[in-house]
Amino acid sequence: MTDLISRHQDIYAPVIGWDSDREIVASDGTWVTDADGKQYLDFACGIAVSNLGHQHPGVKQAVLDQIDRLWHAGGAFRYDSLVDAAEKLVAVSPDPVEQVFFMNSGAEAVEASVKMARKVTGRQGIIVFRGGFHGRTMGSVSYTTSKAKYRQGYHPLVGSVFVTPFPHPFEWRMSQEDADAMAIAELHRMLAHEITPGEVACMLVEPMQGEGGYYPASPAFLSALRSICDEHGILLIADEVQTGFGRTGEWFGSHTLGLRPDIVVYGKGIANGFPLSAVGSSRELFSQWPAGSHGTTYGGNPISCAASAATIDGLTEVLPGVAARSEHSFARFAEMKKTHSVIGDIRGLGLMIGVELVDENLDADPAAIGHVKSVGLEEGLFILDCGPKENVIRFLPPLNVSMEDLDRGLDIIDRALSSYEA
Ligand X SMILES: Cc1ncc(COP(=O)(O)O)c(C=O)c1O
Does 301 bind ligand X (CB under 6 A)? Our answer is no
Mention every residue, 6+ apart, whose C-beta is less than 8 A from residue 420. Answer: 342, 368, 371, 372
Question: What string of DSSP letters covers 9-51?
Answer: HHHS-TTS--S----EEEEEBTEEEETTS-EEEE-SHHHHT-T
On the 0-12 / 13-18 / 19+ scale of CB atoms within 10 A, 55 is middle
How far is Cα 384 from Cα 224, in angstroms, rounded to an integer?
A: 32
Buried b (16+ CB within 10 A) or exposed e, 309-329: bbbbebbeebbeebeebbeeb
Q: Are 305 and 85 in contact (CB under 8 A)?
A: yes
Considering only residues 257 through 276, tell me which ones interact with ligand X, judged by CB under 6 A: 267
| Binding of residue 134 to ligand X (CB under 6 A) | yes
Out of 135, 197, 269, 350, the only residue in the binding site for ligand X (CB under 6 A) is 135
CB-nearer residue toward ligand X: 105 or 164: 105
Q: Find the shortest distance in angstroms from Cβ 12 to ligand X.
A: 18
Sole binder of ligand X in the list 133, 215, 221, 266 (CB under 6 A):
133
The residue (of 89 and 368) whose beta carbon lies closer to ligand X is 89
Min dist. Cβ of residue 35 to ligand X (A): 26
| Residue 203 contacts ligand X per CB under 6 A | no
206 binds ligand X (CB under 6 A): yes
From 4-12, 79-87, 92-100, 235-243, span contacting ligand X (CB under 6 A): 235-243
Binding of residue 106 to ligand X (CB under 6 A): yes
Tell me which H or E stretch contains 89. helix 80-92
Q: Rounded to whole angstroms, how far apart are CA atoms 204 and 143?
A: 8
Q: What residues from 355 to 414 belong to the interface with ligand X (CB under 6 A)?
A: none
- Residue with Cβ nearer ligand X (241 or 401): 241
Nearest Cα to 262, choosing from 243, 244, 289, 282? 282
Nearer to ligand X, 171 or 206 (CB): 206
Rounded Cα gap, residues 313 and 335, in angstroms: 35
* Closest residue to ligand X, based on beta-carbon distance: 106
Q: How far is the CB of 93 from ligand X (least distance, A)?
A: 16
* Strand intervals (E) in 44-187: 99-103, 125-129, 161-164
Q: Does 210 contact ligand X by CB under 6 A?
A: yes
Position among 66, 242, 254, 256 found at the interface with ligand X (CB under 6 A)? 242
CB-CB contact of 247 with 399 (8 Å): yes
- Three-class secondary structure of residue 299 per DSSP: coil
From residue 32 to residue 71, what is the string marking binding to ligand X with x (rule CB under 6 A)? Answer: ---------------x------------------------
Which residues are at the interface with ligand X (CB under 6 A)? 47, 105-107, 110, 133-135, 206, 210-211, 239, 241-242, 267
